[in-house]
Amino acid sequence: MNKTKYIFITGGVVSSLGKGIAAASIGALLEARGLNITMQKLDPYINVDPGTMNPFQHGEVFVTDDGAETDLDLGHYERFTAISLTKKNNLTSGQVYDSVILNERNGVYLGKTVQVIPHITDEIKRRISIPSEGKDVAIIEIGGTVGDIESLPFLEAIRQFKLDKGRENVLYVHLTLVPYIKTAEELKTKPTQHSVKELMAIGIEPSIIICRADRVLPRDIREKIALFCNVQADAVITAKDEDSIYDVPLSLHKEGLDSKIVEFLNIWAKTPDLGEWERISATLKNFKNSVTIGVVGKYVNMKESYKSLNESLVHGGIANNVRVNIKYINSEDFEGEDWEGDFGELESCSGILVPGGFGSRGINGMLRAITFARENKIPYFGICLGMQLMTVEYARNVLGFKEANSVEFDPQTPHPVIHLMEDQKNVDRMGGTMRLGSFPCVISKNTLAFRIYSKNSKKPSADKKNCARIYQDGNILINERHRHRFEFNNGYREKFEFSGFVFSGLSPDGTLVEISELINHPWYVGCQFHPEFKSSPLFPHPLFRDFISASLKSLNPEKKTPSPARRKKPKKTKA
Ligand code: GLN
């Protein structure tokens, strides 16, 4: 039976060094060497999962197929590798304490005092072992920075792991910062030395040190780090700042990271095939055209909140060989008494996207941006909340239901075109209770959505993550990930359909609207799911690919959309 090898990745000096990207890149490199891998993130916070956290606090909540609300690093892992992750791949202190306390209440510890060592650490070790079963390599990233009080039990558990599993099966990789001090014209190794010392005080001796720096570290600096930190000089790897995160696997490979890893772990693995990564890197460097997309939302000052969305737009650009400039625009800019109908930067965007979101702040501004896109025939993509608002806008301004709304924002609305899903009506606990994870959707023939998805159903092997398959009556079946409580109210379906609104994707039993679109518009599509969770640079999601393509066409002189100066402005209504 093959024995799993474990790579633990810790971070030091400061946060935001790109530990998640480094971990994901190691995943990509080991997969390219033909190894069967899994990845896991250990988060020291007490929340059971990030699902209930405010995006301003935590950034995006990434959703897996099995409906786990997880840390956004899992998004990087899925984008960089071919693996699909589950609930078990994101472990938090909250989950660990939750089960240890439950065990204690059930008398499992037989009268013993329940302590961090061994009870908490044993539970951490047990949960690290679960997803790694049967894999060649498990890559485990520890959240936070060495020295944080919260992460100590995790560090203690991974220290013990080496004793339990054997020296040749466990590798510690530490990521630090090597700053360049301009006035001294010198690269400084002291923060790295201190951080490694801190790690060693806990009993963890890293074998590989990845140094984030603005340039490749010269030999003397690597030798100095090697000497002071007790590692081999060729195990000091530079992680140089790169233009794109998708250059990182190639850059770490050039530095010899993956060959050092397989050497330390004593694994036989083929030389990596990095052709696809090279293709992507070359595409990203040689764009001739660009297209500007306006993302109108409310978490715009916190880019981490739209991580997967941001990346999916870049993937759509890769698929069309075009640079995507993303303008994040605060929808509240289009609200208030003194708003004069000026859409600012949005006016020069070739495509408009309203992403997912919760709560009523900024909603009226989003509705105005949607009217602007609809009336001026600017490609519009509504994701989750963006689809719900697309129907509210239509109900108000085309069907004439002036007070139509989602009951999320107006529980008393006379026209609840978006209402609470049936199985959400009795929910009283907030955590993990939304409609979460992957659900099937049937797309009808002769719709734009069908054309978009069928482009890749012809080549299913080239599209592992998003492959659509032919379903009954020549329709298409897809699976996409969800995170919502509200849905389109079927009581309004006929009225919408009668006036040219198309419900192109439904749940297989026909009860839930999953995709809607508008005829008489070049590209006006909303989806109740989050396609951004299934896009990757190697397999750009069909909806993003097509949205970027339509936005590019709207730049064309023969475009159907009026030039920015001639665009119609919605009438100033009370908002
Ligand atoms: N707030 C909406 C709902 O719960 C939309 C959620 C989202 O955009 N993810 O249905």
**Residue of 279, 332, 326, 334 whose CA lies nearest to 307:** 326
Of residues 211, 229, 349, 384, which has the active-site annotation? 384
Active site residue 229: no
- Quick one: 229 and 291 in the same domain? no
C-alpha–C-alpha distance, residues 305 and 450, integer Å: 30
- Final residue of a domain: which of 220, 246, 280? 280
Ligand 1 binding pocket, CB closer than 6 Å = 356-358, 384-385, 408, 483-486
Contacts of 317 (CB under 8 A, 6+ apart): 287, 291, 323, 324, 548
Helix (H, G, I), strand (E, B) or coil at 556: coil
Question: Does any domain span residue 454?
Answer: no
Please report the atom of ligand 1 found closest to the CA of residue 384: 8
Helix (H, G, I), strand (E, B) or coil at 324: strand
Domain CATH code at residue 141? 3.40.50.300
C-alpha–C-alpha distance, residues 530 and 545, integer Å: 15
Q: In this predicted model, what pLDDT tens digit does every residue of 60-87 receive, in sequence order?
A: 999 999 999 999 999 999 999 999 999 9
Helix (H, G, I), strand (E, B) or coil at 6: strand
Q: In this predicted model, what pLDDT tens digit does every residue of 155-174 receive, in sequence order?
A: 999 999 999 999 999 999 99
Answer for the pair 72, 20: CB distance below 8 angstroms, yes or no. Answer: yes
Please report the atom of ligand 1 found closest to the CA of residue 418: 10
C-alpha–C-alpha distance, residues 78 and 98, integer Å: 27
Please report the atom of ligand 1 found closest to the CA of residue 486: 10
Domain CATH code at residue 386? 3.40.50.880
Q: Which domain holds residue 57?
A: 5-280
Q: What is the number of domains present in the chain?
A: 2
pTM over 0.85: yes
Question: Does any domain span residue 568?
Answer: no
- Quick one: 221 and 312 in the same domain? no
- Ligand 1 centre from 360 Cα, in Å? 11
C-alpha–C-alpha distance, residues 402 and 397, integer Å: 7
Give Cα 269 to chain centroid, integer Å: 29
E strands, 50-201, are 62-63, 69-70, 90-92, 137-142, 170-177, 180-181, 186-187
- Ligand 1 centre from 541 Cα, in Å? 21
- Quick one: 140 and 110 in the same domain? yes
Q: In this predicted model, what pLDDT tens digit does every residue of 15-33 receive, in sequence order?
A: 878 999 999 999 999 999 9
- Quick one: 271 and 294 in the same domain? no
**Residue of 37, 108, 109, 42 whose CA lies nearest to 73:** 42
Q: In this predicted model, what pLDDT tens digit does every residue of 289-336 receive, in sequence order?
A: 999 999 999 877 777 889 999 999 999 999 999 999 999 999 998 998
User: Does position 461 have pLDDT exceeding 60, yes or no?
Assistant: no
Query: What are the distances in angstroms from CA 168 to CA 2, 3, 165, 175, 262?
Result: 13, 11, 8, 21, 11
- Ligand 1 centre from 418 Cα, in Å? 11
- Quick one: 261 and 292 in the same domain? no
Residue 362 per-residue DSSP state: T
With the most atoms of ligand 1 within 8 angstroms of its CB, the residue from 383, 408, 425, 514 to mutate is 408
- Quick one: 163 and 263 in the same domain? yes
- Ligand 1 centre from 289 Cα, in Å? 34
